[in-house]
Structure 1
Amino acid sequence: MQPLEQDLLKFSHCSRDIYCSRIPQLCPVCGQSAVSSWSLQDAPISIPTPFQNGHREKCCFLLKPTAGLFGDYDGCSDLHVGISSTSGLVFHYNETGIHSDDAGWEQCVCVPLVPPDYYALINQWDSYLQDFVATDTWLPPRYNEEDHNCYTFALQFINGIQTLQEKPSFSKTEFTERFVLPRTKRVSKYMTVLREVTYNGFYIVGKQ
């Protein structure tokens, strides 16, 4: 598997969209020059990786496979979530309690939770997070895989921040549909294209 941090490229030729890691001299469909007849709309565009280093993304909801990396993810295994601080720590909850990691979340899906100009909230973020994880709510014996888990932890913290800002809380379904599913769908598409490019050199589809 090629690095998931690498952007893919897409260009159009022969009425098809062609994904690759680098632009070829010849079109893989017709064998003619891939660049000589380009119009502006056919020119290459970059398809950025959907993954980010969670330790560099402050005040975010983070999502990654519970075991391994997205490069090995089968689409069915469990996922794990956490909340990032302003200094690169990722707080998360599992059957052994609360953890604050400075490594291990280098390849994840990030959902920003605070606009960059909300300075007052950003300045208090770590204090809110420390107070939140210090409660008995997140002791190991209280962990339950079905209804008191890592997602519960993250969503309760997010809703606490919503309350502080006098904004409505999210249900699990609402937060997932609005913020998580659009990103995981993008991950799924990216991984499909990446695998084809890795093994075949190109991914070719009818022009959309």
Structure 2
Amino acid sequence: MDKSVVRFSHCNKDIFCFFVPEECPECGLSFSGRRLEEAPVSIPDPFCNGHTSPCSFLVAPTDENKLRDFDGGFDLHTGITNTKGVVFNYTKVGVRRDYQGWERCISIPLVQPDMYNLIDQWDQYLEKFSTAQMWDPVWQSFNEETHNCYNYTLMFINCVLATQGKRALSKDEFTKSFVLPRIKRASKYTTLCREISQNHFYIVDSPQKKTSETDADCKT
């Protein structure tokens, strides 16, 4: 989606849309010559073009679900980019090197810009790791539970951590700390865009109103 989402407040509501209208969709009051209760804020798009994100961990819908969004109702696919944005990802036919197809995904950078030594060796590490026998489907078959794209990406990340003398991350650790928060953000953003596309606006009670109502309930 190339439209940006904006949020503004009026009538004790948070209103999400692709543009600020001339009048409030809740009360019909014209905004001409008036100040909004809160200045419009742009909501960051959680998606990016993975091919422009070097040395990163990527999450995207599987090939079978390219037209679907991150709504939690389908399988996801993971990969690792090299320094040129080529996405290395493990599939049933072995490790693929994708030069396109990851234009809309979640990206988690794995290397700081000043880690020059690691960046210099990144492509070599990734190529050597990806040609290991364990990723050859003739030697070991793809398994959706125990030998899949996520095992491939996490194992590579842990191999890189080992070269730096750092401890390995467990699957639960990496998922909870880095992956799940971004997937939840992406899912919410997708739902938001869908609602706005269908109804022009997405309107919810503002946090301030909810807080004041809670305080009032406590006093009664």
Q: Give the alignment's TM-score, normalised by structure 1.
A: 0.93
Unpaired runs of 5+ residues, structure 1, are none
1:85 aligns with 2:110: no
After superposition, what is the alpha-carbon deviation per residue over 1:126-148, rounded to whole angstroms, capped at 9, x for unaligned?
Answer: 01001101110101142111101
Which secondary structure does the structure 2 equivalent of 1:6 belong to? coil
1:37 aligns with 2:20: no
Which secondary structure does the structure 1 equivalent of 2:25 belong to? coil
1:52 aligns with 2:51: no
1:14 aligns with 2:11: yes
Correspondence list, 1:185-196, <5 A: 185-196=184-195
- List 4+ stretches of structure 1 deviating above 3 A: 68-74
Aligned with residue 61 of structure 2, among 55, 59, 65? 65
Corresponding residue of 1:179: 178
In 1, Cα distance between equivalents of 2:68 and 2:9: 27
Corresponding residue of 1:170: 169
Preserved contact between residue 6 and residue 49 of structure 1 (Cα < 8 Å): no
In 2, Cα distance between equivalents of 1:119 and 1:68: 37
Preserved contact between residue 69 and residue 107 of structure 1 (Cα < 8 Å): no
Q: Which amino acid counterpart does residue 47 of structure 2 have in structure 1? A: F
Q: Provide the identity percentage.
A: 49
Preserved contact between residue 6 and residue 48 of structure 1 (Cα < 8 Å): no
RMSD: 1.4
Q: How many residues align?
A: 203
- Bigger mean CA offset, 54-63 vs 136-145: 136-145
Preserved contact between residue 10 and residue 24 of structure 2 (Cα < 8 Å): yes
TM-aligned CA distance change 1:6 to 1:120, over 3 Å? farther
Unpaired runs of 5+ residues, structure 2, are 208-220
In 2, Cα distance between equivalents of 1:182 and 1:72: 16
In 1, Cα distance between equivalents of 2:26 and 2:204: 11
Q: Greater Rg, structure 1 or structure 2?
A: 2
In 2, Cα distance between equivalents of 1:195 and 1:206: 19
In 2, Cα distance between equivalents of 1:187 and 1:76: 13
Aligned with residue 95 of structure 1, among 72, 89, 92? 92
Which secondary structure does the structure 2 equivalent of 1:17 belong to? strand
TM-aligned CA distance change 1:181 to 1:72, over 3 Å? closer
In 1, Cα distance between equivalents of 2:83 and 2:101: 16
Q: Give the alignment's TM-score, normalised by structure 2.
A: 0.88
Q: Which amino acid counterpart does residue 52 of structure 1 have in structure 2? A: C
In 2, Cα distance between equivalents of 1:8 and 1:124: 39
In 2, Cα distance between equivalents of 1:82 and 1:207: 38
Q: Which amino acid counterpart does residue 37 of structure 1 have in structure 2? A: R
1:117 is displaced (CA, Å) by 1.3
Corresponding residue of 2:130: 133
In 1, Cα distance between equivalents of 2:66 and 2:26: 33
In 2, Cα distance between equivalents of 1:136 and 1:145: 18
1:49 is displaced (CA, Å) by 1.1
TM-aligned CA distance change 1:34 to 1:168, over 3 Å? farther
Q: Which amino acid counterpart does residue 128 of structure 2 have in structure 1? A: D
Corresponding residue of 1:158: 157
In 1, Cα distance between equivalents of 2:189 and 2:42: 12
Preserved contact between residue 70 and residue 107 of structure 1 (Cα < 8 Å): no
